[in-house]
Structure 1
Amino acid sequence: MARSIPREHPHIEERPLYWRIAMELLDALRDGSFPPGRRLPGERRLAQQYGVSRETVRQALDVLRRDGLVETDRRGSHAALPGTPVSTPTCLAFPLGAGTAEPGTVNTASVSWEPPPPEHAEALGLAPYRPTLVHRYEAAGTDGRGRRTAVTSFSAVALAEVEELARYRERAGAPGTPQLRRAYDWMRRAGLTLHHHDAITRLPDAPSMRVTRRVHDQYARPLEITDLLVDTRQGALVYEFTLPAAG
């Protein structure tokens, strides 16, 4: 039988699979991915997203339903977490390159808790071989062209300051596609002013470009670094930036 959600979930790997999926859905409710009143994706779609069976999704939803976090009627399940709807994100998409993929692109993502690449560790001020949260993203067209891969490492500051990111340490390596697309908005909500520095380099003897993004806060503390490799045979490398209006 599905259990109610305790206030803390420190040993998530020891819980049943449906309980871990319930925690992922709860995080999505908390970070605004599903604002109050918003209809959740169907069981089939959620099962595909998290890489589990529909029965596991059904049990996870039952956990949330028992705690009054999800309501279900004939139209489906709806978010019921108390609070006001989160406004539309105005920050840049995460990870670097995810917001510029062509329609029909197939993408995958994963998170792990491991030592980052040496150049990432140096940029983030981490001791050699010290593990941190590492996010990997890959996207490609259905024909395999236009491939782009991104590796992001987060700093100790980011994990200490941003609660939503810190929770992903517990789920590193778990099945499913991690939803970190609002990472920059989480940082802003934590009171961090984000400074982005993107460097674009053409790789010699290869039809690819490397984009390196470094992000630091208002105190010049590093938050994350991303390396993106893009297959540029399909055309120009284009990035769109949206800045919110003042006030």
Structure 2
Amino acid sequence: MARTTPNDPPPVDGRPLYGRIAALLLDELRDGTIPPGERLPGERHLAAHFGVSRETVRQALEVLRRSGVVATDRRGSHAMLPGRPVESPDSLAFPVGARPADPRAVDQATVVWEVPPQEHARELGLAPHRPTLVHHYRSVTPDGRALRTAVTSFSAVALAEVAELARYRDRADGATPAQLGRAYDWMRKAGLCLHHRDSISQVSQAASVRVTRRVHDQYARPLEITDLVVHAEQDALVYEFTLPAAV
């Protein structure tokens, strides 16, 4: 007999409750709600999502593990159904506003272990005066008419979850070149589902705009915040989005 808790609704058919939850979760895996290779939300989140106890979720996950559609390691449970994993869209280049290959532009990028801007610290939940990994990016064309500068601060969560970022702490001297173009790929491979919000505002100079990107994971934990300032008379920010066809 299926073991449930007082928090579980009573069964409505012949299947044990955990079996019905396993079937519902399998449907979400099949329809792409949780893409192949992505990490599933935690037991607490799934319990709230399905309106059952964490013990029932745990039993349902065990059913899916035995059938081979879910695998669990120290970082959590991952969807194992065959299919094409979600790829990082071009619009998520790191940092926001980073140029594609441009033979005219000169790009410089470094990292430093320092106290981030006050607004960044607040957004990332960092204690006042607590240092973190900060990425500085600068891109300028030879004529000097198109200049982009970006400052990115990473959260304690990002450094704890993403080993590739954590390794930069010992090299964060502010002088060594640091290309973190794969930062979002590293986050995804660590099992983090990325949600980003970009806002654009005009700064004091008429020819300058500011783009602020905030990125958090599937648990609403902040991962990074970037402030990009574009100083240009004719430069443009281009965002590309691709929506997959319905199948």
The verdict on a shared fold, with TM-score over 0.5 as the criterion, is yes
Report the alpha carbon displacement of residue 245 of structure 1 after superposing the two structures with TM: 7.7
**How far apart in 1 are the matches of 2:99 and 2:86?**
15
Residue in 1 aligned with 2:117?
117
Aligned amino acid, residue 158 of structure 1: A
1:90 aligns with 2:88: yes
**How far apart in 2 are the matches of 1:88 and 1:180?**
20
Aligned amino acid, residue 130 of structure 2: R
Q: How has the CA–CA distance of structure 1 residues 126 and 245 changed in structure 2, closer, same or farther, with 3 Å as cutoff?
A: farther
Indicate the structure (1 or 2) with the bigger Cα radius of gyration: 2
1:207 aligns with 2:204: no
Q: Specify the SS of the correspondent of 1:90.
A: coil
**How far apart in 2 are the matches of 1:207 and 1:95?**
21
Q: How many residues matched?
A: 161
Identical columns (%): 67
**How far apart in 2 are the matches of 1:172 and 1:235?**
31
Residue in 2 aligned with 1:163?
163
1:179 aligns with 2:176: no
Q: CA RMSD in A?
A: 2.4
Report the alpha carbon displacement of residue 202 of structure 1 after superposing the two structures with TM: 1.1
Q: Specify the SS of the correspondent of 2:229.
A: strand
Q: Please give the TM-score of this superposition, normalised by the length of structure 1.
A: 0.60
Report the alpha carbon displacement of residue 88 of structure 1 after superposing the two structures with TM: 11
Q: Please give the TM-score of this superposition, normalised by the length of structure 2.
A: 0.60
Report the alpha carbon displacement of residue 203 of structure 1 after superposing the two structures with TM: 1.5
Aligned amino acid, residue 135 of structure 2: H
Report the alpha carbon displacement of residue 144 of structure 1 after superposing the two structures with TM: 1.0
Q: How has the CA–CA distance of structure 1 residues 121 and 245 changed in structure 2, closer, same or farther, with 3 Å as cutoff?
A: farther
Q: Specify the SS of the correspondent of 1:99.
A: coil
Q: Specify the SS of the correspondent of 1:198.
A: strand
- The 8 Å contact of residues 198 and 211 in structure 2, kept in 1 or not, is answered as yes
**How far apart in 1 are the matches of 2:212 and 2:101?**
17
Report the alpha carbon displacement of residue 237 of structure 1 after superposing the two structures with TM: 2.5
Report the alpha carbon displacement of residue 242 of structure 1 after superposing the two structures with TM: 4.8
Aligned amino acid, residue 189 of structure 2: R
Report the alpha carbon displacement of residue 93 of structure 1 after superposing the two structures with TM: 1.1
Aligned amino acid, residue 188 of structure 1: R
Aligned amino acid, residue 166 of structure 2: A
Aligned amino acid, residue 210 of structure 2: R
| Structure 1: tracts of 5 or more residues without a match | 1-86
Q: How has the CA–CA distance of structure 1 residues 95 and 245 changed in structure 2, closer, same or farther, with 3 Å as cutoff?
A: farther
Residue in 2 aligned with 1:150?
150
Q: Deviations over 1:78-100 (max 9, x none)?
A: xxxxxxxxx99634211111135
